[in-house]
Amino acid sequence: MMKRRRAAHPRVLVSIVCVLLVLPRLTLSNTPPPKGDVGEECKWDRRHKLGHYMFFDIDGEHIHEFHEFKGHPVLCVIVATRDPHAKEQYEALNDLHDQYHSRGLRIFAFPTNQIDKSEPKEGLEILQDIKDALGVEPRFTMLKRHLVMGRDQHLVFKWLTDNCGKHDIQDNFEKFLIDKKGRPFKRYTHRTDPLAIQHDIEHLLWEGGEHDEL
């Protein structure tokens, strides 16, 4: 006479199901989020990093030394209040700040008057102009107005353009994303919605989301 097999205890079945549900999550956690499909990848020359540079805050007094932000992805954006796309860009940058600042992203805005003379104010007047003209208050860091192209461009923009495409700044709201070790990662045109680079930000925020060779 054949012996009847005992049915598996319900608790055993529940345990097996739980393990099967958890395993895919554990596997995914070891996989970096994919890069986004927008932007131009930078080719770092293996010399300088962002930490070599410093900038004055928009008040002209406080200095931001970028070596302080090692371990944080950094988004550098060229901004101008009177640019026709300023309102939508500022609002999207605020959204990025709100979503990612607590996770480590740092956003720095660099006002310039070089392109169509679309940033006529200086210093703290820029902040007031943004509020009056656009109805927006930036929640990310605004820096002092700078020259971003030409013979007298600030050295950080020479570094960024040399490593990312080797062509001059074309328009306001061009963006440069820098990884957690201070190396240029991607460059985005002025047409790129800041929210469209979320995949790249997620990639860099992930623990291993940096250049593989270093």
> pLDDT per residue over 146-164, tens digit each?
999 998 998 899 999 999 9
What is the SS3 string spanning the chain? CCCCCCCCCHHHHHHHHHHHHHHHHHHHHCCCCCCCCCCEECCCCCCCCHHHCEEEECCCCCEEEHHHHCCCCEEEEEECCCCCCHHHHHHHHHHHHHHHHHHCCEEEEEECCCCCCCCCCCCHHHHHHHHHHHCCCCCCEEECCCCCCCCCCCHHHHHHHHHCCCCCCCCCCCEEEECCCCCEEEEECCCCCHHHHHHHHHHHHCCCCCCCCC
pLDDT of residue 53: 86
- Residue at 135 is within a domain: yes
- Residue at 33 is within a domain: no
- Residue at 190 is within a domain: yes
Q: How many domains does the chain have?
A: 1
What domain range includes position 200?
Answer: 40-205
pLDDT of residue 67: 82
pLDDT of residue 6: 58
- Residue at 161 is within a domain: yes
Domain containing residue 148: CATH number: 3.40.30.10
pTM above 0.85? no
pLDDT of residue 10: 52
- Residue at 29 is within a domain: no
pLDDT of residue 8: 53
- Residue at 179 is within a domain: yes
pLDDT of residue 17: 43
Q: Which residue positions in the chain have pLDDT lower than 50?
A: 12-28, 209-214
- Residue at 101 is within a domain: yes
